[in-house]
Chain A
Amino acid sequence: GENVEQHPSTLSVQEGDSAVIKCTYSDSASNYFPWYKQELGKGPQLIIDIRSNVGEKKDQRIAVTLNKTAKHFSLHITETQPEDSAVYFCAASPDNYGQNFVFGPGTRLSVLP
């Protein structure tokens, strides 16, 4: 089955700096890759996603890149703000309908003021 690894497990950056989180997956059939943000005491919330026919996607300060050949994808957050502090999860879906997510172990991002 699919296996998703995520690095680093914790990341601290100064406010205004950029943050990068990397994930690798094992199943070459995976074709949908979402990123979720989880704040303390809340459920995960989708922040950006990418499908296998696209190499990069950007939404304001957040971008995701996908390298299908190498089976890895990354989350980039620019101009970080204190409210970006949270746990971020990547996921991969080998399902044709984008279901059956397999989540990575998460990255705890701390943005220091």
Chain B
Amino acid sequence: EAGVAQSPRYKIIEKRQSVAFWCNPISGHATLYWYQQILGQGPKLLIQFQNNGVVDDSQLPKDRFSAERLKGVDSTLKIQPAKLEDSAVYLCASSLTSGSGSYEQYFGPGTRLTVT
């Protein structure tokens, strides 16, 4: 089966510019996650969707970050305006719906963002 797709793979922007990342989860996976992975650290959850509803966005910096998952499939994560500290790899993951008994999260390759 096809894995989680993300684009672009790399992005370089200047601070105060805006950027958007796209994610296409594994077909049939109702739950979608966006993580931020700063160099040398573990992934940190930004937002979790169940279908097209937000389950958890407690760690999303809402003054500059936004995310949506229209029609419960693809998702976009936007940063506006970007700061230097936003330089990181942004990972998208998906999993079967909660209550399915399967806990595995499948990760995409990530988008490496560099803010200069």
Contacts and interface: CB of A to CB of B under 8 A. Distances in A.
How many chain B residues sit at the interface, stated as a range, is 20 to 34
Contact of A89 (B4, B42, B103): B42
B103 A43 contact: no
B95 A99 contact: yes
Interface stretch (A14-22, A44-52, A57-65, A67-75): A44-52
Contacts of B95: 99
Interface string A1-26: 00010100000000000000000000
Contacts of B31: 99
B110 A34 contact: no
Interface stretch (B13-21, B43-51, B68-76): B43-51
B107 A105 contact: no
A98 interface: yes
A113 to B, nearest CB: 25
Nearest to A91: B42
Contacts, number: 58
Main secondary structure of the interface of B (DSSP, over half): loop
Given A34-B104, A45-B107, A99-B103, A106 B41 contact: yes
Interface residues of A, number: 25
Contacts of B108: 43
A46 B105 contact: yes
Nearest to B98: A97
Contact of A34 (B55, B56, B91, B103): B103
Give 8 closest A-B pairs by Cβ, nearest first: A98-B103, A43-B107, A103-B42, A97-B98, A44-B107, A46-B104, A89-B42, A103-B43
Interface of A: 4, 6, 32, 34, 36, 41-46, 49, 89, 91, 93, 97-106
Interface of B: 4, 31, 40-45, 48, 55-56, 91, 93, 95, 98-99, 103-110
